[in-house]
Every structure is written in C-alpha cells, then in structure tokens.
Amino acid sequence: MPYRQSIRVRYGECDMQRVVFNANYFVYCDDVVDSWTRVALADELRAAGSSTDLHAIGFDFMLKNTNLTWHAPVRFGDTIDMTASVSRWGNSSFDVSINGSVGGESRFDAVITYVSIDPVSQRPAPVPDVVKVALER
C-alpha cells in the first residue's frame, strides 16, 4: 500500500526562477522515505526499545542510485502530495517509487534504489522480513 505525505514548499527552497531548486526534489523524496520507514516500523521499534533508531531492529539502508523525472514546475507555496511505494524487492536492495503531484497534476517521479546494510559493519545485508512486511502494509 502506498505511503502518502504532503509537503508545503517554503520560500528558501526555491531558486531565482521562482521554482523549487533541483536538489530539493531529492530532499523531499528523502524526507518522505524517512518518515515512511519510521511510521511503518513504529511497532517494531517500540518493541526493541526505541522510537526512531532503525539500528535497534538490526536494519539500516543507504542510497545506491536515484533517478528523477521532472514533468512541471513546483513553486513557492505549493503543497506537494507525495506518494511512495516499494516497486522492487531484491535480496539486499529495494526500489522505492515516488510521485509528487500538486492539485492532482503529476510534477515529478523518482525511483530510488536503496541497499539494506548491517548497521555495525555497514556492509550489504539481506532486507529483513519485518521491513518487507511493514513497507507492504
């Protein structure tokens, strides 16, 4: 099931052309994925004695690759409706597809490949089943 979050564009996130500065699209995507994983794994984190630390459940992830396709500008004051879902599961990696829309009109799409890592060694590790289940809810 897709995760949804809205983000309001602030003045400082825009460039001289009065549209969102390129790098900020990636910041928005990162914020959505971070919020989603913490919400989806909240019960597991609490059971492990933490409210925010993914390491408590033996999991962390790092960006491997990202691709963003821009369709139309996002401007100061717009509210971006962000939708994220896992579009591919691998053994130690997974892809998250994200759509950003304003007023029902798609403005950008992103696909981010993450690698699951062991929090201690920071080496690739299989994606824990608990993470797969949580992100599929």
How far apart (Å, rounded) are the C-alpha atoms in residues 16 and 123? Answer: 41
Could you give the C-alpha distances from 48 to 24, 87, 116, 118, in angstroms and in order? 33, 28, 19, 16
Mean pLDDT, the chain, rounded, equals 94
Tally of domains within the chain: 1
Inter-residue contact 127 to 113 (CB < 8 Å): no
Amino acid at site 59: F
With bands split at pLDDT 50, 70 and 90, how would you rate the model's confidence at 53?
confident
Q: For the residues 42-63, what does the mean pLDDT come to? A: 85
With bands split at pLDDT 50, 70 and 90, how would you rate the model's confidence at 52?
confident
Strands 93-102 and 3-8: unpaired
Task: Tell me which residue range forms the domain holding 128.
Answer: 3-136
CB atoms within 10 A of CB 91: 10
Inter-residue contact 72 to 20 (CB < 8 Å): no
Q: Which of 28, 106, 21, 20 is nearest to 69 (CA)?
A: 106
Q: Is the pTM of this model over 0.85?
A: yes
Q: What is the CATH number of the domain that holds 31?
A: 3.10.129.10
